[in-house]
Chain A
Amino acid sequence: EAAVTQSPRSKVAVTGGKVTLSCHQTNNHDYMYWYRQDTGHGLRLIHYSYVADSTEKGDIPDGYKASRPSQENFSLILELASLSQTAVYFCASSAGLGGQNTLYFGAGTRLSVL
């Protein structure tokens, strides 16, 4: 049974529109992450969180907001979607920060901004 669930699995959005990507984990992990994957760039960290009601900027936070209303849920919000935000987005969770803590990924959300 999937422990990190993302919704929607795919979405088409219009430029300038608002997009919310949701992530739910049942791992009881403190840390949750949002990454984007673009061809030729691997995964890049957008935002992460280590406790409910708190979020931290990752390496590419511009144009994105994040929300962690509870330990289990972590959302990524694009207030004004742009063409450059077309990508596959992955949510992940881990017990702690640091490489020894295994990352558990969701199945990904394919976002197309037109």
Chain B
Amino acid sequence: GMPVEQNPPALSLYEGADSGLRCNFSTTMKSVQWFQQNHRGRLITLFYLAQGTKENGRLKSTFNSKERYSTLHIKDAQLEDSGTYFCAAEAGGGSGNKLIFGTGTLLSVKP
């Protein structure tokens, strides 16, 4: 299978709702990053995690290397949260520390 599987592929939320996105890895990854791509196509780095949990405002991300997954939790969704969210994992070792991207989750936040 794909080294980085992201789900769901698409998600629709109403303003104020909470939800989570998930990435599963086929092998042990060294770290994970989460990106948001907005409606103009701009990619913005949200989080880098080598382990544990980080929070930034209404966003929280967790990375569990041993269990091979990472999550991005969005609290109190706002219209501006709409976009595509990508996780990217760093395999380390012989991969040369390059990032492997998931296929993204398209998030639509509705009023």
Query: Separation in Å of the A48 CB from the closest CB of chain B?
Result: 8
Instruction: Give 26 A-B contacts (CB < 8 Å), ordered by A residue.
Output: A40-B103, A41-B103, A42-B86, A42-B101, A42-B102, A45-B99, A58-B98, A59-B98, A88-B41, A90-B43, A97-B96, A98-B31, A98-B97, A99-B30, A99-B31, A99-B33, A99-B48, A99-B50, A99-B88, A100-B48, A102-B45, A103-B35, A103-B43, A103-B99, A107-B41, A107-B42
B interface: dominant SS: strand
Interface residues of B (CB under 8 A from A): 4, 6, 30-33, 35, 40-45, 48, 50, 86, 88, 90, 96-99, 101-104
A interface: dominant SS: loop
Contact in complex: A44, B103 (CB < 8 Å): no
Docked CA distance A51–B41 (Å): 28
Docked CA distance A78–B95 (Å): 25
- Number of A residues with CB within 8 Å of any CB on chain B: 22
Query: Separation in Å of the A37 CB from the closest CB of chain B?
Result: 9
Q: CB < 8 Å: which of A43, A58, A99, A103 contacts B32?
A: A99
Contact in complex: A100, B50 (CB < 8 Å): yes
Q: CB < 8 Å: which of A42, A44, A102, A105 contacts B42?
A: A105
Interface residues of A (CB under 8 A from B): 40-45, 48, 58-59, 88, 90, 92, 97-100, 102-105, 107-108
Contact in complex: B48, A45 (CB < 8 Å): no
Chain B hits for A88, CB < 8 A: 41
